[in-house]
A and B are shown apart, each in its own frame.
Chain A
Amino acid sequence: MWQAFRNEMAPLGLEIVTVGLDTAGVEACRPFIESAAPEHPSLIDAHHRMAELFGVVNIPNGVWIDEHGQIVRPAEPAPAPPSIELERNMNLGDMAEIPERMMAIMGEASKIQANPQGYEAALRDWAANGADSEFALTEHEVIERSGSRSSAEALGHAHFEMATHLELTGDHDAAIRHFRSAHELVPSNFAYRRQAWSLEPSLDGPLARFWQGPAAGDEAAWPYAGDWLTDVREMGAENYYPTWTA
């Protein structure tokens, strides 16, 4: 998705590194990576290390790092040019009938606000002007904008890492307990919620990981306090990402 932009920007000294955050790991990411055939580094992050180290709270998020290894913009919504993430990811072409919940999810997703044009223009400005770009922030601004991390939230990150470890070592029930703790302690991290929800086997087929909620008629078996559709409706889809500011 970033490949064409990357090829244009690489000669100007801007490289792109994509990181697939998914406890389901390399096999879940592989089809998308092979389809995109990136020439830039494309990495797999089963434990969401990037969330812990860079303050990522939702997907897609981008972090700008200068030539000296200094962050000049902390994690923020990073819509790819053009931003059609959901349609890109879901293979609906061969489905006879799209389930009602999926239609509702797509309806909410269509209300999500993003500013791919503004983001791309800012990236081009930074690539051309470096530290003189109005979009390159000072260290103080970077830290201030990097999102909150109380001691409770830090504890939530530890629970999330424990959850991913337990999921990967085959104890799904124990993983759920720690995912729940992470959700309670780091409510701002929507990626943590999406990750846990996407691992629940509510249905089979290509929509399985996008369903992110209880199976129809089996609501009592759903192990989490929220689900994608309920939570996005509560927060308002237009608030899904914070408004991007220069």
Chain B
Amino acid sequence: MITNTLSVSRADFERRTGWQLKPEDACKGAVCVPLDPAPVGDVVNLEQLAEQMHLPLVHEPQHGVWAVGPESIGARALASAQAANLMLPDINGDTFELDSLRGTKVLLVAWSPY
């Protein structure tokens, strides 16, 4: 996720990273990472969370932005087989949520025009 502040709302962090912040840990599917101390309140400190969860943080000071990278649990691209709720726009700018297709098998195909 890209952010111009290290203080982000809990809901924003959860929506953009797929991690749920619980009272004592952060969970994605059945995989949980203990948080000590766990963040309290509606705003979380991204720097602290990134360190606790071993999420990489890249800073571009000239532009005042940070990029938070993904987890690397178990050294595999997927920590769990539960599909993330990919949310992306179509060519009309309307956002589509992958979770809206629950109940159907889905083949998700990545392509590129180059």
Contacts and interface: CB of A to CB of B under 8 A. Distances in A.
Contact of B75 (A17, A47, A149): A149
Contact of B70 (A45, A52, A66, A130): A52
A62 B108 contact: yes
A10 to B, nearest CB: 9
A209 B56 contact: no
B72 A64 contact: no
Interface in B44-94: 54-58, 60, 62-63, 65, 67-72, 74-84, 86, 88-91, 93
B110 A21 contact: yes
Interface residues of B, number: 52
B114 A194 contact: yes
Interface stretch (B7-15, B35-43, B97-105): B97-105
A15 B101 contact: yes
A44 B90 contact: yes
Interface stretch (A67-75, A219-227, A232-240): A67-75
Interface of A: 1-2, 13-22, 24, 26, 28-34, 41-45, 47, 49-56, 59-72, 74-75, 78, 80, 85, 89, 123, 126-127, 130, 139, 142-144, 146-151, 153-159, 161-162, 165-166, 169, 171, 174, 178, 191, 194-195, 198, 209-210, 212
Given A22-B113, A75-B110, A154-B71, 6 more contacts: A20-B112, A49-B88, A54-B77, A55-B76, A154-B56, A157-B69
10 closest A-B pairs by beta carbon, nearest first, are: A55-B77, A158-B69, A198-B114, A146-B78, A155-B56, A162-B67, A43-B88, A209-B114, A139-B81, A154-B72
